[in-house]
Amino acid sequence: MLSLRPRAYSPRARRDDATLMHPSQADDDTLREKCAVFGIFGHAEAAAHTVLGLHALQHRGQEACGIVSCDGEQFHAHRALGQVGDTFSNPAVVAMLRGYAAIGHNRYATSGGTLLRNVQPLFADLDAGGFAIGHNGNLTNAYHLRRKLVRRGSLFQSTTDTEAIVHLMATSTANSIIDRMVDALMQVEGAYSIVALCRSAVIAVRDPLGVRPLVLGRLGDAHIVCSETCALDIIGATFLRDVEPGEMVVLDESGVHSYRPFPPRPSRFCVFEYIYFARPDSVIGDHSVYAARKRIGAELAREAPAGADVIVPVPDSGVPAAIGYAAESGLPFELGITRNHYVGRTFIEPTDQIRNLGVKLKHNANAALIDGKRVVLVDDSIVRGTTSRKIVQMVRQAGAREVHMRISSPPTRGPCFYGIDTPAKDELLAHQYSVEGMRREIGADSLAFISVDGLYRAMGKPARDPDAPAFCDACFTLDYPTALTDEESTEGQGELSFLAERTATGRRRKRSLA
C-alpha cells in the first residue's frame, strides 16, 4: 500500500495538520471502512444527486469527500477534508458543480495520508482530454508502479495509489480514454471499483475478482453507478444490477455500454462486506445485507450455543446477527447496550484516565436489562481486543452474572491488502492467541466465533473449497487472491529518499509479512 510520509510521522500521535484525533482512533480497535464511489450521467442536477448519494455512503469513509462534474466543456470540482454534510452544506458550492454528469468519492485513507491533495476524485488533463477518477480498493503493486513511473519522468501530486492509474493512462500509447484506462488497469494488481469522468461519459470498472462492490441503477433517463444500493434508494433510483467482476460500464448519451476487457476469473467478493462494512439496507450480489447478517447470527447460534438468559448486541453492527442468534436459540433479545450516535471529534487531552473511559463515549450498559443475568454479547469481530475487553468489563459492572461473547465472523488472523485498514498481523489478537487465550484476554466466561464453513453456509454456499473459494476471506484464512507485490518484495527498500517514506501503517504492514 503506497504512501509517502516523513519517517517521524505517527498516526497515533498526529494524523495531519488539518485533523484532530477521533475517539475511536485512540484505541484503533476496529476494521475501518474503505471508500465509496458514486457516478451519474444524464441528469440536470447531477452534482446534487451525487451529494445525496455520498451522504448514503458516508459509512464507507468519513475523512474526506469530493465531487467533480462536467458540463460537456468544463470540469468543476470541490474537495475537502471532513464529512459530506459539512463539505456540501452550502448550496452555492453545489450550484458551482454544473453539468449533467458527476462523480463523487468518500475517503478513508487506506493508502496515503489524510491530506487535501489525496482527496478524490483526482483530476488530470490528459492529451486525450480532461479525466477524473475515484477509486475504492487498494493496489498491491502501486509502489512498484510508482517507482517505475517516477524513473520515467512522471511527477506525482498525491501520495495515494490511485494516482498510479492516472500516470499509466498518461503514458499509454492507446488512442481513446477507454483504451488507455484498460491499458492502465491491465498493469495493476489488487482490488478496485472505479468511477471515472471524461467530457462525454462516466466510466465504471470493477476488478476481475470483484472484491469491492459496485452497482448500476437508473433514475429517469439518467444512469448511476455506486458502491451500494442504499445510495440509489436515497435519490429514488431503481437498482438494475451489480456491475460484474471484470466489467467496464460506460454511461453516455446513448445509454449504457458494457465491455469485458479482462480475462475472466472466478469471483472473490469480500465477505466482510456482508459481516460489517456494507449498510444493512443495501443489497449486494442478490443478498440483502441485513438478511445475510441474521443468517450468520443463526448459524453462529447453531455452532456455538450458550447457556444464558438474554442476547445483547454490541451496537450497531452486532444487531442483525444478534437478532438471528436470539431467534435460533429461543432466548430473548434485548438492547442491553446503548450506543451514543453523537460522538464526534474530541479536544479532551487523551490522558490514561480519559482514554480508559473512551469506550463509554460510545457505549453504555443498560443495567436494568442485564443485572443478575447470564448475557450473550454478539459482535461482528475482534481486532486487537481492547474494545471487547472494556465492553465485557462494562457489562459485568452493570451486574451480569456471566458474560459469553459470540462473534459473527471467524477470527481475524491477517491484515487486508485490498482497501480495508487493518492492523499488522502481529497486532491482531487472533494471531497472538488461541480462542481460549483470547477469552482470557477479554475476560469473558466463554468465547466463540462462527467457523469459515459456517459463514459460507450462512451465505448459501457449501463448505469452503480451498481450491476455489467463493469469497475473499483472506483476513480469516490468509489465502490472498492476488499477488502482494509491494508487501512480499524487499526490492527497492532504502531507495525511497527521493520520495520520502511509507506511513507508519504501511511499515507495520510490511513487518506483518516478515
Q: pLDDT tens digit string along 358-381?
A: 666 788 999 999 999 999 999 999
Q: Residue 307 is placed in which grid cell?
A: 447457556
**CA dihedral defined by 480, 412, 273, 359, rounded to 10 degrees?**
-150
Q: Which of 35, 70, 198, 475 is catalytic?
A: 35
CB 226, CB 53: distance < 8 Å:
yes
0.75 exceeded by the pTM? Answer: yes
Say how many residues make up the chain.
514
pLDDT of residue 490 exceeding 60, the answer is: no
What is the spatial distance between Cα 301 and Cα 435, in angstroms, rounded to a whole number?
A: 17
pLDDT at 398: 96
pLDDT at 115: 78
Q: Are strands 310-313 and 374-379 parallel, antiparallel or unpaired?
A: parallel
CA nearest 314: which of 325, 305, 301, 303? 325
For the chain, the average pLDDT equals 87
pLDDT of residue 347 exceeding 70, the answer is: no
pLDDT at 128: 86
Give per-residue burial for 157-174: e unless 16+ CB within 10 Å, then b. ebbbbbbbbbbbbbebee
- Cα angle 131, 134, 139 (rounded to 5 degrees) comes to 110
CB 272, CB 475: distance < 8 Å:
yes
What is the spatial distance between Cα 87 and Cα 177, in angstroms, rounded to a whole number?
A: 30
Domains of the chain: 32-267 (3.60.20.10)
Q: pLDDT tens digit string along 106-158?
A: 998 555 556 788 999 999 999 989 999 999 999 999 999 999 999 999 999 99
pLDDT at 349: 46
What is the spatial distance between Cα 222 and Cα 204, in angstroms, rounded to a whole number?
A: 15
Q: What element of type H or E holds 447?
A: strand 446-449
**DSSP E strands: which ranges in 272-360?**
283-284, 287-288, 310-313, 337-339
Phi-psi region of 464 (alpha: psi -120 to 50; beta: other; left: phi over 0): beta
Confidence of residue 513 (pLDDT cuts 50, 70, 90): very low
Confidence of residue 392 (pLDDT cuts 50, 70, 90): very high
What is the spatial distance between Cα 289 and Cα 293, in angstroms, rounded to a whole number?
A: 6
Determine whether 35 is an active site residue: yes
pLDDT of residue 440 exceeding 80, the answer is: yes
Mean pLDDT of 316-321: 93
In eight-state DSSP terms, residue 273 is I
With a CB cutoff of 8 Å and minimum separation 6, the contacts of 213 are 193, 227, 228, 242, 269, 270, 273, 278, 284, 285
Q: Which of 27-41, 82-96, 311-325 has the lowest mean pLDDT?
A: 27-41
pLDDT of residue 80 exceeding 70, the answer is: yes
pLDDT at 351: 56
pLDDT of residue 298 exceeding 80, the answer is: yes
pLDDT of residue 491 exceeding 90, the answer is: no
CB 159, CB 113: distance < 8 Å:
yes
Q: pLDDT tens digit string along 245-264?
A: 999 999 999 999 999 999 99
SS3 state at 364: strand
pLDDT at 460: 95
Q: What HEC string does 86-139 produce? A: HHCCCHHHHHHCCCCEEEEEEECCCCCCCCHHHCCCEEEEECCEEEEEEEEEEE
Mean pLDDT of 275-293: 95
Percent of the chain predicted with pLDDT > 90: 76
CB 191, CB 141: distance < 8 Å:
no
Q: Residue 297 is placed in which grid cell?
A: 447470527
One-letter amino acid at 498 equals F
CB 321, CB 342: distance < 8 Å:
no
Adjacent-strand bridge partners of 218: 223, 238
